[in-house]
Structure 1
């Protein structure tokens, strides 16, 4: 049997550890990708399986906790056409093809109705799948987490470029109440989007300018010797794209926002 002092010591260690875990979860409990960093791969070798992880709901006005039910989610990748590109933080005026050879149809949704009853794609005018939405049904109960599965096509970094990595910034919204844009608040939607001047920047909201990312690291062709240590490239969706694509349309009708 444990002595009283030994029991108290072990209890104190356990309480401290639990407190540290709680603090870590509180600090990092944002909607993110399950696997935020992958290596480049050839499309002929298949897809990378991943998922959007919804970590919490919207703010509950009665308690102040982020445990309101989530009724839907929408995620969009940059289209690579008018995207905002930076190289080691400096603006790049050239096209995405300077760094990536095969972007255009980046995502495929893995069919799953374990949480939300309906799902659909967000496509460009050529039919390329840039994102997806899911919603309806029982939804995500406050206090639980959700995993929304998808795959990304093989991303190939331009071998002659100096890119050692290319990070794609997503726009994601977790919806708790269907409102128009003027009704966006911490009680109605959790906005995980880059602040690029779109209607979905979420200024003043819980997740302001805290988007999920997918980092692709070079693994096929070695860096050209002239590149030195290489550069890190970041690709964000433009305000024009987010205003156009970060929405839910079903059977020809816009469901969210109103």
Structure 2
């Protein structure tokens, strides 16, 4: 079960049973990333790209200062493509994602797996599109190990009329070590790998991992660039602050478990 008592322990939340603890010891530079961060565009009819989120290390242990504190769950969210922040070669784009991607909707499928955590559920928008997932519980991780959380991304097709040579989707991920509200986020309670876009997950610029999110880059491979595009452009899509505040959380049995309310 999710637990948190005092500053360094855990209190029991009755909303979920038997959520185990996890621990992992790695270099402070081993951020949570996708196992395969670069893929080729993939027509939806040809299936998905199988991937995984790799949890590189735990939170800071207050006793030792090492990043080996227990991780009790993780949350992964992709940009929804609706109010997302889009840049083209670093310049803000005022159009829509469909200017560059033709089939963005439900970007992620969680591969059912209980080797690390026992509980998992989707994070969906009002139309039922799967924008992300959370997972936690069970035996969890043990010190000295990384977690590999399997997932699949939907086939992505770039707009053949656009000048995009690649589209990079920026994720929001949180590896949770203690249940707190947003005011309690710190290096001992949660590792947040999210873009700094003004959400409650921004954190401090002097904190480890600040504005250092995982990414999925999709390269053009189905159709050639139009001749007028030259070398092409690089497009980056980030979730908005509004989406992160709404979606990067754990809802279990209709109640919000994390961040604590």
CA–CA distance in 1 between the matches of 2:180 and 2:142? Answer: 19
Please name the residue that 1:218 is paired with: 220
CA apart distance, 1:207: 1.1
CA apart distance, 1:137: 1.6
CA–CA distance in 2 between the matches of 1:155 and 1:84? Answer: 18
Please name the residue that 1:135 is paired with: 136
Please name the residue that 2:125 is paired with: 124
How does the TM-score come out when normalised to structure 2? Answer: 0.88
Q: Deviations over 1:145-171 (max 9, x none)?
A: 000000001000000000000000000
CA apart distance, 1:206: 1.5
Q: Deviations over 1:20-63 (max 9, x none)?
A: xxxxx736400000000000010110100000000100000010
CA–CA distance in 2 between the matches of 1:238 and 1:30? Answer: 21
Alignment of 1:103-122 (within 5 A): 103-122=104-123
Please name the residue that 1:165 is paired with: 166
Please name the residue that 1:183 is paired with: 184
Please name the residue that 2:243 is paired with: 241
Unmatched runs of 5 consecutive residues or more in structure 2: 1-25
CA apart distance, 1:138: 2.0
Contact 1:58 1:186 in 2 (8 A): yes
CA apart distance, 1:205: 2.7
Alignment of 1:1-258 (within 5 A): 26=27, 28-203=29-204, 204-258=206-260
Matched residue count? 234
| Counterpart secondary structure, 1:174 | strand
- Which contiguous aligned blocks of 4+ residues in structure 1 show a shift greater than 4 angstroms? none
| Counterpart secondary structure, 2:195 | coil
Contact 1:108 1:129 in 2 (8 A): yes
Mark the structure with the bigger radius of gyration: 1
| Counterpart secondary structure, 1:226 | helix
The structure with more helix, counted as a fraction of residues: 1
Q: Deviations over 1:81-135 (max 9, x none)?
A: 0000000000000000000000011100000011111000000000000000001
CA–CA distance in 2 between the matches of 1:46 and 1:255? Answer: 33
How does the TM-score come out when normalised to structure 1? Answer: 0.89
Contact 2:117 2:135 in 1 (8 A): yes
Unmatched runs of 5 consecutive residues or more in structure 1: 1-24
